[in-house]
């Protein structure tokens, strides 16, 4: 069980994971109800999520700079904070690609990828809800496996999406635009897996 003074660190990370969940769910909604005329306003809302994650990252780093003793190595907590914030950044970047390229219609693969990213973020939140129990890591390990499996699912969807867009469109610019969007969606899944890998290493170091 964590000491009362340690709770801030675990709650901060869990809070950022929750922001990532909300951002990913918002992205899913934007794609399922895709409307070019709404992209700019949606991007402003998405930026609010990203900014909230930034604030929590800064709170974490400020606390680490002042703390004498931390529940995990301060370098590990800083690395987790930076990389979890990167998940929120990457989700925002997906919507930025839609804003820049303005595809006329949505693809089923982009929605599937966004839904998988949402599930990845929910597994991240589950993982960070258990991080304080890092010395009894069974539930942590289960969440890590979930994220790894979801990232593999994203790899498969990404591969088919890349292939299909060339087969289904004769517009070279559209093909390029969609491949960029798929790259950014895949980057989100990779970022989630990277955070899970860091937690996995932390568990190994501390048990």
Tens of pLDDT, residue by residue over 22-54, are 999 999 999 999 999 999 999 999 999 999 999
Tracing tokens 């609010």 back to the chain, one arrives at 48
User: Above pLDDT 90, what percent of the chain?
Assistant: 87
| Segment 171-194, tens digit of pLDDT | 888 889 999 999 999 999 999 999
Q: For residues 161 and 28, what is the distance between their CA atoms, to the nearest angstrom?
A: 17
pLDDT (0 to 100) of residue 67: 87
**Residue-wise DSSP of the chain:** ---GGGHHHHHHHHHHHHHHHHHHHHHHHHHHT--GGGHHHHHHHHHHHHHHHHHHHHHHHHHHHH-S--SS-HHHHHHHHHHHHHHHHHHHHHHHHHHHH--SS--HHHHHHHHHHHHHHHHHHHHHHSGGGTTSTHHHHHHHHHHHHHHHHHHHHHHHHHHHHHHH---HHHHHHHHHHHHHHHHHHHHHHHHHHHHHHHHHHH-
What would you measure as the largest C-alpha separation in the chain, in angstroms?
61
Q: State the pLDDT confidence band at 94, using cuts at 50, 70 and 90.
A: very high
Q: Residue range 164-168: average pLDDT?
A: 86
The whole-model pTM stands at 0.94
Q: For residues 44 and 122, what is the distance between their CA atoms, to the nearest angstrom?
A: 23
CA distances from 62 to 8, 9, 13, 56, 73 (A): 12, 11, 14, 10, 15
Structural contact between residues 153 and 192, judged by C-beta atoms closer than 8 angstroms:
no
User: Above pLDDT 70, what percent of the chain?
Assistant: 98
pLDDT (0 to 100) of residue 3: 63
Q: State the pLDDT confidence band at 1, using cuts at 50, 70 and 90.
A: very low
Query: Which of 97, 95, 115 shows the shortest CA–CA distance to 45?
Result: 95
């Amino acid at each position: 069980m964590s000491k009362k003074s340690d709770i801030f660190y675990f709650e901060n990370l869990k809070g950022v994971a929750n922001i990532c969940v909300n951002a990913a769910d918002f992205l899913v909604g934007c794609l399922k109800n895709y409307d070019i005329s709404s992209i700019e306003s949606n991007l402003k809302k998405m930026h609010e999520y990203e900014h909230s994650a930034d604030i929590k990252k800064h709170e974490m780093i400020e606390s680490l700079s002042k703390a004498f003793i931390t529940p995990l190595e301060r370098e590990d907590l800083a690395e987790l904070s930076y990389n979890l914030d990167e998940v929120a950044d990457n989700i925002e970047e997906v919507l930025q690609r839609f804003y820049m390229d303005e595809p006329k219609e949505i693809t089923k693969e982009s929605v599937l990828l966004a839904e998988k990213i949402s599930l990845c973020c929910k597994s991240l939140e589950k993982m960070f809800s258990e991080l304080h129990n890092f010395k009894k890591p069974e539930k942590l390990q289960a969440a890590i496996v979930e994220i790894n499996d979801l990232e593999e699912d994203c790899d498969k969807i990404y591969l088919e999406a890349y292939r299909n867009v060339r087969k289904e469109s004769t517009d070279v610019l559209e093909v390029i635009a969609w491949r960029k969007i798929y790259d950014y969606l895949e980057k989100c899944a990779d970022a989630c897996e990277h955070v899970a890998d860091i937690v996995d290493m932390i568990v190994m170091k501390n048990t």
